[in-house]
Structure 1
Amino acid sequence: MIRRSLRAPVRPGWPLLAQGAALGVLAALGQAPWSLWPVALAGFGGLVWLYSRTTRTGHAAWLGWAGGAGYFALSLFWIIEPFLVDIPRHGWMAPFALLFLAGGLALIWALAFGVARHLGGLWALVALWSAAEMLRAVLFTGFPWASIGHIWADYPMAQLASLGGTPLLTFLTLLISAGPSLQQRVIGTGLSVLVLAAAWGYGALVLGGNLATDTGKTVRLIQPNAPQHQKWDADMIPVFLQRAIDLTAASAPVQPDVIIWPETSIAYPLDASPNTLAGIAQAGGGVPIIVGGNDRVDGNWHNTMLLLNPDGSRGATYYKHHIVPFGEYIPFGELLAHWGIRGLASRDGAGFAPGPGPALIELPGIGTALPLICYELIFPRNLRGLATRPDLILQITNDAWFGEVSGPYQHLAQARLRAIEQGLPLVRAANTGVSAVIDPWGRIMAQTLLGEAAYLDAKLSAPAAATLYAGIGDWPMRGLLMLLLIWQIAARRRNRVDVSGAQG
């Protein structure tokens, strides 16, 4: 006997698209700063339920696109902020940037929904939707911001990232969301509750059984709070520089072991600023200082992290290697510059040049650090594959580009997940905030407020044991998703045989 669903199929058209978009918006409320995971689960669950009522590949694909468009429109609406820094030059691009980004990323969800409907079954959707999120982390250099698994950054369940990274969190989120839409609804709902409780309980046990170990070292994070629209103003540059110097020289009961300035905190070219560097070093009072700036090497500009020695000389240098498309560079930049089209943070038309790749730097008296500049932190792959395990992750960033509503908090949430994935402490100095010191389990040990000028002195935690995810990365999740898809394809073939036999 062939079982048929008693659910009435959904009708294609604008009502389906509107419902999908609304549910996508609900799902986005799981992202920081809202972090409403029950609302997010309701949104994802609603999309799964609507998918279960579709009967055609095209209808499912349109539903996936609408859900993705709503989800990315809300979770990534901060993307308009960089275009509003220089409104006469870039302001007209702001709405198009959001529309094209949300609509473009939604195409990946549409593909997952459409192929899943072709294969049939909710398990196919869970597997392909999870795979779609992994795909957008690498496609066209990747953009994993606002991944589904990020909704757990503030909660114990985030500890599972040490086992399977964000992809595991994404898979479990969709698994939990899909349970109530199974034909055996009571069993499916019970399965969802069981998975959520088990994952939450595991995280609570990890957090309860692991306390941060104090290294006895103190880091000072400098947050000068230079708004992006004033940051490169010739009249304001010396104001922000002096503010950062004053924060560096501020007295405290305990002298810091290292002082960290944010990304591009020095507005003058590093290769032409010996007096500026000497003044900063003098303010440090014998403490090594990490500064951010723009360096020119062989005619190419680099977004740079520089270790400034106590005598003012240049020490270890790191050049950002994962630069932002259409932000720090655009293809054919020299040509397009003739029409006034440049990257938002670019120089000389072509923009910044990438550095040679991931590298470690030695912080005197602290240990070995993995340096990351801004956007590089959102890619877990930038933290793996090193020959030597560092003692900490060091990020400098200028989150003034992201506004003051959601972007900086989402960036902070991703920093917490990177710490969990690697089992390493993480320190981040952000121009406008949020600057923070994070322990190896993603707990914020100290932080500044967004939009304040301040310095933050905090103790540095010791590393935890190397995590499973740090060693093997995404391969187990790729294997699991592949097995699920093979199972669904085999089940579809069996159903075809059963139907043919029943009709014969």
Structure 2
Amino acid sequence: MERIAVSVVLLWGWKRAALAILAGAVGALALAPLNLFAAMFISFPLLVWLLDGATGDPGRGSSIGLRSAFSAGWCFGFGYFVAGLWWLGAALLVEADAFAWALPLAVLGLPALLAIFYGFAAALAKIFWTDGMGRVAALAASFGLAEWLRSFVATGFPWNAIGYAAMPVPVMMQSSWVLGLLAVTTCSVFVFSAPALLGTRRGAAPGLIVAAMLFVAHFGYGAYRLQTAAQATEPAEQMTVRLVQPAIDQAQKMENVDRIEIFERHLALTGAAPANGERRPDLVIWPETSVPFILTDNPDALVRIADVLSDGQILVAGAVRAEARSAGSQPRYFNSVYMIDDKGQILAAADKVHLTPFGEYLPFEGPLRAVGLEELISLPGGFSATATRAVLTLPSGFGLYPLICYEVIFPGEISEDLGGANVILNITNDAWFGHTPGPYQHFQQARLRAVENGTYVLRDANNGISAVVDPFGRVISGLALGSFGAVDATIGSKSVPFRSDFDHNLNFWLVQMLFAVTAVISRVGFIRKMN
């Protein structure tokens, strides 16, 4: 191990950059669908050794050393994000004649921008760099801060935060209920980086002991919580839900020529008899933008929905909602979800709050349109965002907290106590990305929202992955990517105490402070030793 560490430390030039990119790419193997979390135990030690070799005097923290550290962190992030987000290019190929030219921007440009956060983390850690465990603590705190910034800067894009790599299966997800994603991320970077101490021997024993304790606690608490969940009684308030997955090709949706066929496919799955004589569903869910026209302009469509729904059934369907403005001006369009009863009446609607940049709206619209860029979903004026999120309350009193598409990747999008709702509803259309890692990564992040908040997640996707996820991240019932059909499941209301975003943020800053103090103390001792 020491020979490998020395070889990495002494690298320079293009070999150093290439290894940093490779280290980041290896780390992406820990993401869904592969979920090889052990890859991070290769990725982060390599980054630590690369930072050990950052040029400049580590005792003085020279600007040369910081620039070298930033470069290593940026290259690491570039490799990680290219390997983890290459599938974004698939969305541009749906209308290749219009968007194929932008492939390099999606596959290389976005990773290059996101890598700045990891470059910042590496440079910040280098300020507090030492020759022992303190440097691993500094890297953990710096990456935690970088991921926090990535969650909101420029509207935020926290996709594939490092913490997800440490939570591939339910037994490894339960820590997020206590700590939240960001705190788990900070702890994960420390644990993943700890093997680097074997390459230098300095501070190896205490660092590896702390890392082992965190790793065992992570697994142990998960096992304990799942065992407790197995002994829990079913909640009295229950509801049967049907998820409709029509598996419509995105190109077909965009062509707008088979709208009646698409609509009827949804209706057929809605009206299908339950399997094995089971209870008919109380609630039927259609995916994002499943209604292929402006529903309020098509009263006959509401009549058809009423014909298919049984007495007392409710349909929740994703659709584009148009809102009239002044005479002569274009209406405003919203990515919405409607709640419709068995009489074809629209009972309520909820609009998307956090729009997808470049997909639903164009940031920096003036200059970007001037160079030929436009949003993927073309509507006059693009989509509009609503200011506040509406909870959908069923006639039974059961509340749904709607998160449309990628809103579910933001833990902070969920308000205190779910705004009084019982479960999280996530509808999406991942058909844009075909059979790539994208839908798997999206689903994995939706599962974590169930665990973090201690509630069910009802996730319905056009082509998958659709699933009912319980408050412990376990899939009760679902449909695989690309499958056509519908699936029913019976759920209860929240069965574990709710954990708010405030709780998770508080724990995150406490964990950050713990690692930051460790890094500062180690740094002070290191400087004294150098002098």
TM range (shorter): over 0.9
1:423-453 deviation line (CA, Å, top 9, x unaligned): 0111011111111001011111011021122
Range with greater deviation from structure 2 (37-46 or 466-475) = 466-475
Where does 1:389-400 land on structure 2 (aligned, <5 Å)? 389-400=420-431
The structural deviation recorded for 1:335 is 8.4
- Asked whether the 8 Å contact 1:180–1:186 carries over to 2, the reply is no
1:90 equivalent among 88, 99, 115: 99
- Asked whether the 8 Å contact 2:291–2:317 carries over to 1, the reply is yes
1:365 and 2:396 are equivalent in the alignment: yes
- CA gap of 1:493–1:386, structure 2 versus 1, over 3 A, is same
Which blocks of at least 5 consecutive residues in structure 1 are unaligned?
1-5
Match of 1:281 in 2: 306
Distance 2:69 2:445 in 1: 30
1:139 and 2:153 are equivalent in the alignment: yes
Distance 1:54 1:234 in 2: 55
The structural deviation recorded for 1:476 is 2.4
1:273-294 deviation line (CA, Å, top 9, x unaligned): 2111221222122311011111
1:71-95 deviation line (CA, Å, top 9, x unaligned): 1111111111111110000111012
Where does 1:113-128 land on structure 2 (aligned, <5 Å)? 113-120=122-129, 121-128=135-142
- CA gap of 1:284–1:71, structure 2 versus 1, over 3 A, is same
Q: Percent of pairs identical after alignment?
A: 33
1:322 and 2:354 are equivalent in the alignment: yes
The structural deviation recorded for 1:106 is 0.7
Amino acid at match of 1:312: G
Amino acid at match of 1:165: G
Match of 1:192 in 2: 211
Match of 1:26 in 2: 26
Distance 2:292 2:45 in 1: 48
Distance 1:238 1:490 in 2: 67
1:375-420 deviation line (CA, Å, top 9, x unaligned): 1111011112357432101111111122212111111111110000
TM-score by length of 2: 0.88
The structural deviation recorded for 1:358 is 1.8
Distance 2:216 2:179 in 1: 18
Match of 2:229 in 1: 210
1:30-75 deviation line (CA, Å, top 9, x unaligned): 1100001112332223222332343422222111111111111111
Where does 1:181-260 land on structure 2 (aligned, <5 Å)? 181-182=196-197, 183-211=202-230, 213=234, 215-252=237-274, 253=277, 254-260=279-285
The structural deviation recorded for 1:197 is 1.6
Range with greater deviation from structure 2 (390-399 or 362-371) = 362-371
Distance 1:497 1:368 in 2: 59
- Asked whether the 8 Å contact 2:252–2:258 carries over to 1, the reply is yes
Alignment partner of 1:115: what SS?
helix
Amino acid at match of 2:307: Q
The structural deviation recorded for 1:216 is 3.8
The structural deviation recorded for 1:339 is 7.0
Match of 1:40 in 2: 40
Match of 1:269 in 2: 294
Alignment partner of 2:19: what SS?
helix
How well do the aligned residues superpose, as a CA RMSD in angstroms? 2.1
Which blocks of at least 5 consecutive residues in structure 2 are unaligned?
56-64, 130-134, 326-330
- Asked whether the 8 Å contact 2:321–2:336 carries over to 1, the reply is yes
2:174 equivalent among 146, 150, 159: 159
Distance 2:246 2:21 in 1: 39
Match of 2:61 in 1: none
1:308 equivalent among 340, 343, 347: 340
1:139-159 deviation line (CA, Å, top 9, x unaligned): 111001111111213241210
Match of 1:404 in 2: 435
The structural deviation recorded for 1:474 is 1.2
- CA gap of 1:45–1:467, structure 2 versus 1, over 3 A, is farther
Distance 1:333 1:310 in 2: 42
1:129 and 2:143 are equivalent in the alignment: yes
- Asked whether the 8 Å contact 1:162–1:469 carries over to 2, the reply is no
- Asked whether the 8 Å contact 1:176–1:192 carries over to 2, the reply is yes
Distance 1:80 1:27 in 2: 20
Distance 1:409 1:466 in 2: 28
- Asked whether the 8 Å contact 1:47–1:67 carries over to 2, the reply is yes
Query: Number of residues paired by the alignment?
Result: 494
Alignment partner of 2:223: what SS?
helix
Alignment partner of 2:189: what SS?
helix
1:11 and 2:8 are equivalent in the alignment: no
Match of 1:492 in 2: 523
- Asked whether the 8 Å contact 1:84–1:91 carries over to 2, the reply is yes
- Asked whether the 8 Å contact 2:333–2:382 carries over to 1, the reply is yes
- CA gap of 1:34–1:296, structure 2 versus 1, over 3 A, is same
